Amino acid sequence: MLSFDVSYHWHNFHAHYQAQLALGVTSILGASGGGKSTLLSLLGGYIEGQGSLQFAGQELLSLAPYERPITTLFQSDNLFPQLSVWDNIAIGLSPSRALSQAQQDKVNWALAQVQLQQHSDKFPDQLSGGQAQRVAIARVLVREKPILLLDEPFSALDPKLRSDMLHLIKTLTEQYQWTTIMVTHSPMDAILLGGQVLLVEEGKVAAQVPASVLRDPPSDSPFNRYLHVSPVAK
Ligand SMILES: Nc1ncnc2c1ncn2[C@@H]1O[C@H](COP(=O)(O)OP(=O)(O)OP(=O)(O)O)[C@@H](O)[C@H]1O
Please tell me the residue having the least CA distance from ligand 1 atom 14: 35
| 207 found inside a domain | yes
- Assign 191 a pLDDT band (cuts: 50, 70, 90): very high
pLDDT reading at 233 higher than 60: no
Of 144, 177, 194, the last residue of a domain is: 144
Q: Which of 10, 27, 75 to mutate for ligand 1's pocket (most ligand atoms within 8 Å of CB)?
A: 10
63 and 153 both lie in a single domain: yes
| 91 found inside a domain | yes
| 85 vs 76, more confident | 85
Which residues make beta-bridge pairs with 21?
A: 2
Angle between helices 129-143 and 101-113 (to 10 degrees): 140
Using the Cα atoms of residue 185, residue 110, residue 170 and residue 127 in order, give the sign of their dihedral: positive
User: What does the DSSP assignment read for 207-226?
Assistant: EEEEGGGGGS--TT-THHHH
| 111 found inside a domain | yes
Of 95, 120, 144, the last residue of a domain is: 144
pLDDT digit string, tens, across residues 22-62: 999 999 999 999 999 999 999 999 999 999 999 999 999 99
65 and 85 both lie in a single domain: no
139 and 153 both lie in a single domain: no
65 and 92 both lie in a single domain: no
| 74 found inside a domain | no
pLDDT reading at 234 higher than 70: no
pLDDT reading at 230 higher than 70: no
How many domains is the chain built from?
2
Please tell me the residue having the least CA distance from ligand 1 atom 4: 10
pLDDT digit string, tens, across residues 157-172: 888 888 888 999 999 9
Chain length of the chain: 234
140 and 152 both lie in a single domain: no
Nearest to 13 by CA among 40, 39, 52: 39
Using the Cα atoms of residue 178, residue 197, residue 136 and residue 3 in order, give the sign of their dihedral: negative
96 and 153 both lie in a single domain: no
Please tell me the residue having the least CA distance from ligand 1 atom 11: 13
Measured between alpha carbons, how far is 85 from 131 in angstroms, rounded to an integer?
A: 10
Of 93, 128, 144, the last residue of a domain is: 144
158 and 202 both lie in a single domain: yes
CATH code where residue 19 lies: 3.40.50.300
Q: State which residues form the domain around 185.
A: 1-69+147-234
ipTM of the modeled complex: 0.91
Taking the model in full, what pTM does it have?
A: 0.90
103 and 209 both lie in a single domain: no
177 and 103 both lie in a single domain: no
151 and 231 both lie in a single domain: yes
9 and 53 both lie in a single domain: yes
56 and 153 both lie in a single domain: yes
| 53 found inside a domain | yes
118 lines ligand 1 (CB under 6 A): no
